[in-house]
């Protein structure tokens, strides 16, 4: 075999290996974090003539143990399993991967802590906004697993190790707000809970019919491997959930191997329907509750880094980090007007009977553990940097995006995949010119509507559609408080 032929063979083998189906990338909200694929073919790297000077992330908490209700399903499955053969042969010896029942359900797992810490390390390397020793502020919804995610993130982002020797330096300040309450209105990282009308638009029950039909068929297939017990649709749902959860809790992926690729795609699509119709574009109030975050970030981007809003008492860092829950990410997508349009007719609204592979709205690419939506403000030179620069001793050549003619742009990333804004993606790396972005956000206001009016809060005292938690610390309406990590 010639060298050229060998290289071709190796390329083909590598390509086949890279295309191997991974259930953990199709497990919706049970997926441990992974970078979403480039749906639109755009590199997530910063364009060569640009630098990021300001960025905002809204992030789901990291991987966690099951909630108590889900864990009850695990225990019910455990008590039901007696014996099995074939792909289910391991079941008689399986035990739920929770060994501290009074404390673990509900809380962040060690994998979740690692995911959060790693994100901090990645963003420190990527943006280089905070020099060593500087303190740093992030924002978090109040539930413990979210606060813990924010805390581990700050430790990864700061990472200087002088916590004991310099107790006033290298600190993460976590601004926390009440979690899922109805008295902070839009001034929250969980605003859907403060919109009374929101639940009336939640039609995620549409996912139930799709899920039950497919799970029932899977149960029939698997029951041929069982003697003495019969699986039902509920059991299948628990078993598929266990693929992602057990993988991140204990590293055991045996439940992932039970199901066929097509069955994983159906499982994922049930998650898609749940989030699309529950908290995403299929809920008519989704954009309403997602818009205040978008408007707050657009205002900060318009002013530029190291500024505050009119009446603000706090200058947020150039990296604006907010931590929340899975159901609070789809409203941001709705407010942005992405993943709900297509050049192919009939893709949206999502069908409740079958999955269209042309859709971009995929829960696994958005609400995985530690999933996020990010907006980057880019400063870009008119042209690519020169390929060669002559070095002069004692003279530092300024980097990309620093020329007098540098222009500002905004780019959207969802789980590290670039998602162009519809009709506003002509800038470097499918970005949108800042002036056009401001107009785009203003147009989206008409879609979102007024938070107070649409949510039916006209008679509520202090009701507001403005999110000011990033520029007012502490926030009066947001009822925020501040934690320090690590504690001195």
CB atoms within 10 A of CB 317: 18
Global confidence as pTM: 0.92
Does residue 16 carry a pLDDT above 60? no
- Structure confidence by residue, pLDDT tens digits, 97-115: 888 887 788 899 999 999 9
d(CA 270, CA 261): 14
Residue 338: is its pLDDT beyond 80?
yes
Residues labelled catalytic: 61, 326
CB within 8 A of 9, min separation 6: which ones? 1
Q: Rounded to an integer, what distance in angstroms lies between the CA atom of residue 133 and that of residue 119? A: 19
pLDDT, position 229: 82
Any idea what DSSP says for residue 340? S
The answer to whether 244 and 271 have CB atoms below 8 angstroms apart is no
82 pLDDT band (50/70/90 cuts)?
low
Residue for token digits 């990010």?
374
CA 328 – CA 314 distance, rounded (Å): 24
- Does pLDDT of 18 surpass 80? no
Query: Quick one: the chain helix, strand, coil %, rounded to 5?
Result: 40, 15, 45
Tokens of 161: 């190790």
Q: Where are the beta strands (DSSP E) in 265-334?
A: 319-324
Cα–Cα distances (Å) from 207 to 133, 263, 270, 285, in that order, read 49, 15, 5, 18
The average pLDDT across 133-149 equals: 94
Tokens of 249: 């809790």
User: Please, what are the domains in the chain?
Assistant: 24-64+107-192+283-342+360-383+403-488 (3.40.50.1240), 70-106+203-278 (no CATH)
Comparison of pLDDT for 77 and 18, the residue scoring more: 77
Residue 10 — very low, low, confident or very high, per pLDDT cuts 50/70/90? very low
Around Cβ 346, how many Cβ atoms within 10 Å? Answer: 9
**117 alpha-carbon distance from chain centroid:** 15
Could you give the residue ranges of the DSSP H alpha helices within 128-260?
144-158, 206-222, 233-250
| Confidence grade of residue 6 (pLDDT, cut at 50, 70, 90) | very low
80 pLDDT tier (thresholds 50, 70, 90)? confident
> What pLDDT is recorded for position 1?
39
pLDDT digits (tens, 9 = 90+) for 450-478: 999 999 999 999 999 999 999 999 999 99
What confidence tens digit (pLDDT) does each residue in 240-286 have? Answer: 999 999 999 999 999 999 999 999 999 999 999 999 999 999 999 99
pLDDT at 73 over 50: yes
pLDDT tier for residue 126 given thresholds of 50, 70 and 90: very high
Q: How open is the CA angle 208-209-211, to the nearest 5 degrees?
A: 65
- β-bridge partners, 108: 64
Distance CA(206)–CA(196), nearest Å, equals 21
Alpha-carbon distance of 41 to 302, in angstroms, equals 28
Average pLDDT, the chain: 90
% pLDDT > 70, the chain: 93
Q: How far apart are CA 451 and CA 474, in angstroms?
A: 22
Phi, psi at residue 340, to the nearest 5°? -135, 15
Task: Measure the CA angle with vertex 246, ends 241 and 250; round to 5°.
Answer: 175
Any idea of the CA torsion for 29, 288, 451, 183, to the nearest 10 degrees? Answer: -10
Q: What is the pLDDT of residue 125?
A: 94
pLDDT of residue 72 exceeding 80, the answer is yes
Residue 87 reports pLDDT greater than 90: no
Cross-strand bridge partners of residue 56:
320, 375
Q: So what's the pLDDT on residue 352?
A: 94
Span 435-456, pLDDT tens digits: 999 999 999 999 999 999 999 9
């Amino acid at each position: 075999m010639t060298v050229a032929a060998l290289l071709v063979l190796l390329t083909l083998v590598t390509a086949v290996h890279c295309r191997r189906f991974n259930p953990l990338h199709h497990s919706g909200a049970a997926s441990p974090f992974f970078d979403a694929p480039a749906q639109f073919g755009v590199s997530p790297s910063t364009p060569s003539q640009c630098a990021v000077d300001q960025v905002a992330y809204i992030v789901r908490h990291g991987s966690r143990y099951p909630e108590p209700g889900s864990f009850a399903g695990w225990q019910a499955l455990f008590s039901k399993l007696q014996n099995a053969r074939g792909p289910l042969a391991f079941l008689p010896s399986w035990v739920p991967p929770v060994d501290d029942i009074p404390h673990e359900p509900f809380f962040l797992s060690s994998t979740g802590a690692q995911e959060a810490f790693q994100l901090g390390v990645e963003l420190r390397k990527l943006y280089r906004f905070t020099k060593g020793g500087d303190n740093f502020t992030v924002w978090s919804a109040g539930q413990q697993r979210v606060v813990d995610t924010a805390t581990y993130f700050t430790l990864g982002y700061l990472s200087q190790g002088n916590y004991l020797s310099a107790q006033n330096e290298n600190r993460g300040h976590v601004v926390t707000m009440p979690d899922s309450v109805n008295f902070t209105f839009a001034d929250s990282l969980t605003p859907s809970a403060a919109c009374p009308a929101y639940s009336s638009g939640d039609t995620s029950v549409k996912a139930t019919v799709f899920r039950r039909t497919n799970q029932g068929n899977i149960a029939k297939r698997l029951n041929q491997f069982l003697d003495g017990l019969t699986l039902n649709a509920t059991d299948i749902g628990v078993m598929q959930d266990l693929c992602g959860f057990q993988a991140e809790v204990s590293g055991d992926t045996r439940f992932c191997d039970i199901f066929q690729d097509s069955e994983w795609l159906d499982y994922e699509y049930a998650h898609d329907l749940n989030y699309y119709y529950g908290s995403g574009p299929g809920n008519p109030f989704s954009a309403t509750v997602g818009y205040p975050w978008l408007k707050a970030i657009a205002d900060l981007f318009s002013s530029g880094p190291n500024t505050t809003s009119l009446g603000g008492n706090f200058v947020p860092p150039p990296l604006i980090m907010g931590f929340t829950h899975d159901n609070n990410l789809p409203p941001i997508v709705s407010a942005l007007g992405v993943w709900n349009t297509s050049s192919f007719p009939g893709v949206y609204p999502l069908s409740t009977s079958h999955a269209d592979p042309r859709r971009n709205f995929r829960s696994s690419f958005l609400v995985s553990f530690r999933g996020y939506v990010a907006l980057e403000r880019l400063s870009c030179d008119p042209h690519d940097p020169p390929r060669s620069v002559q070095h002069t001793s004692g003279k530092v050549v300024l980097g990309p995006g620093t020329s007098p003619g540098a222009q500002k742009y905004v780019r959207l990333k969802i789980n590290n995949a670039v998602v162009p804004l519809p009709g506003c993606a002509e800038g470097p790396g499918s970005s949108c010119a800042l002036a056009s972005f401001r107009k785009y956000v203003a147009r989206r206001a008409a879609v979102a509507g007024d938070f107070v009016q649409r949510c039916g809060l006209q008679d509520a005292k202090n009701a507001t559609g403005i999110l000011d938690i990033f520029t007012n610390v502490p926030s009066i309406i947001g009822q925020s408080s501040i934690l320090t990590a690590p504690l001195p």
